[in-house]
Chains A and B, each alone.
Chain A
C-alpha cells in the first residue's frame, strides 16, 4: 500500500468534497425521514430522475445543468406534494405506513428506475459544462472543479435549508410537527398541509442533487441504488432530525469511502456506506447528534 502523504491528503480532500455533495443528496431524507418519519427509500430514484432531466434539458438547450435543476424545482416540489398526498390518504390516515407505506415507496423506486431504463436504456449519460474538466491545484492538493462546484452548491443549499428550518415560521412549524403533531393542531395549523410542504421541499432538493450528481459522475438508472445506503447511513449516523449532524456524517462518510476506495479498491465501495449503516443501527442508533 502506498502511504505517501500526497495520496493520503488527496484522498481526504476528495472525500470531503464528496461528503459535501452527499449532504445535498441526504438533505431531502433529513426532512422526510429525520423530521416526518417517512421512510422514502425512493428518494434516490427522484435524484436520478433529476439527473436525467438535467441531462436532457442541458444537452438540448445548452443551459448549465444546475440552472436547469433550479428551473424545474417547482415541478419536483409539486411531485413531492402529490406523492405525500397519496401516501397520507392511502397509508398514514389508515395507520398502515409501517408495512404498506414502505412497500409503496419501494414500488415507486422500482417503477422510476425501470421506466428510466425503458426510456433511456442502460447507457451511462453525462453532461457537459465549463467546469467539468479543469482542476485547481493548491500545493499537494488536486481539486477537480467537477467535484468542487457541486460541493459548494450543495453546501449552499444545505445552509439555505438550515436557515429555513430555524428562522422561518414554516420551517419551525415543520420542526414542530416532527415533535408534536397534536400541539400543532391546537395552534390551528394544519399538520397535514405542513407535512405536504415539507415533503415537497424534500423532493425538490432531489432536483438539485440530481444535477450535481450527473456533474460529478456519469449516470445510469441503477446508480440510485448505491445511494439508498448512503443517504440512510448519513441520516442515521448524523442523528435523525439534526441537520448539523447530517452534515458532519456526510463529510465523515465521504472521507471513509474515499480512503477505502483509494487503499482497498473500488469493489469494496458499496459495502462502506451500508456497512456504516448497519454498524450505526446496531451500536448507536441515536447517531452522533441525535435527539
Chain B
C-alpha cells in the first residue's frame, strides 16, 4: 500500500539555525502515528512544512500520491490535510460556531462543489462543537474561552475540514486526565472512520496508548521510528529525554 504522506529529506533553516535536517517520514493510510521530541526539536516546524505554512528549502512532501511542494497551504487543506496549531489561532472576531463555518465553507464546499443550506451548516457546526464539548458556548467569542477550550476549538476547526490526514499539534496540553481521554476517544473514532492521525504530544501516556507507531525528533533529526514499545527503550531516545 502506498503511503498517504511521504516526507522525503526535508530541511529547513532559519538564518543560521537548522530547524530540520533531512527528515524522512512515511505515514500509511489509516495509521495512528505519534510524534514526540523535546521542546525546540522541530516538531511544529515539520508540521508547518508538511502543511505548507512554511517552505522547506530542500526535500519534498507527497500526499495521496501527488507531490505537494509549491502548493499553498489552503490547497493542501483542500486535498485533505488538516492541522491544529500548537498555540491556538482562533478567528477572534467571530463566534465559535462561525470559526467552524470557515473550513466548512472554504474547504468542504470547495471539494464537493455542492452548497448546503445555512441550516445544514449550522447543524454541522453545532455537531462539531458538541464533539469537543463546546456546544454551550457556540455563540461566544474566542476571547471568552479558557486556554483548554481554545485548544478544543482548534481541534474542532481542523476536524471541520473533513480531512484524510489530521495532525494534532499538542492539542491536549493542560487538559485534565478525563479531558485527555475524551480527546483520545474522539481521535480514535475519527481513525476508525479512516482518518489518518498524527499525534504530537508531550503526554506520554496518551501517546503510548494511542499510537501504532512512534517517531522521535531531536534537534531537527529523526532519531527513531518504529513500534512504541521499542522506541521508548531506544538508547538515544532515553538520553534525549533524561539527559546524559
Contact = CB atoms under 8 A, between A and B. Distances in A.
State yes or no: do A and B touch (Cβ within 8 Å): yes
Nearest to B15: A291
Interface residues of A, number: 2
Contacts of B15: 179, 291
A291 B14 CA distance: 8
Interface in B1-23: 14-15
Interface in B81-111: none
Nearest to B16: A291
Interface string A162-174: 0000000000000
Contacts of A291: 14-15
A179 B16 CA distance: 12
Contacts of B14: 291
Nearest to A179: B15
Contacts of A179: 15
A176 B14 CA distance: 14
A291 B17 CA distance: 11
A133 to B, nearest CB: 47
A274 B95 CA distance: 42
Interface in B142-174: none
A278 to B, nearest CB: 23
B36 to A, nearest CB: 21
Nearest to A291: B15
A179 B19 CA distance: 14
A208 B81 CA distance: 54
B55 to A, nearest CB: 12
Nearest to A241: B15
A142 B14 CA distance: 45
Interface in B186-215: none
A280 to B, nearest CB: 19
A71 B15 CA distance: 38
A291 B16 CA distance: 8
Nearest to B14: A291
B15 to A, nearest CB: 4
A277 B178 CA distance: 56
A179 B15 CA distance: 10
B10 to A, nearest CB: 20
A291 B15 CA distance: 5
A179 B14 CA distance: 10
A136 B15 CA distance: 43
Interface string B62-81: 00000000000000000000
Interface in A235-291: 291
Interface string B120-154: 00000000000000000000000000000000000
A90 B19 CA distance: 34
A188 to B, nearest CB: 18
A237 B15 CA distance: 17
A179 B17 CA distance: 11
A159 to B, nearest CB: 23
Nearest to A183: B40
A185 B128 CA distance: 37
A218 to B, nearest CB: 42
A107 to B, nearest CB: 23
Interface in A173-216: 179
B175 to A, nearest CB: 22
Nearest to A290: B15
B167 to A, nearest CB: 22
B12 to A, nearest CB: 14
A124 B96 CA distance: 58
A170 B15 CA distance: 22
A248 B136 CA distance: 59
A291 B13 CA distance: 10
B93 to A, nearest CB: 11
Closest 3 CB pairs of A and B: A291-B15, A291-B14, A179-B15
3 contacts: A179-B15, A291-B14, A291-B15
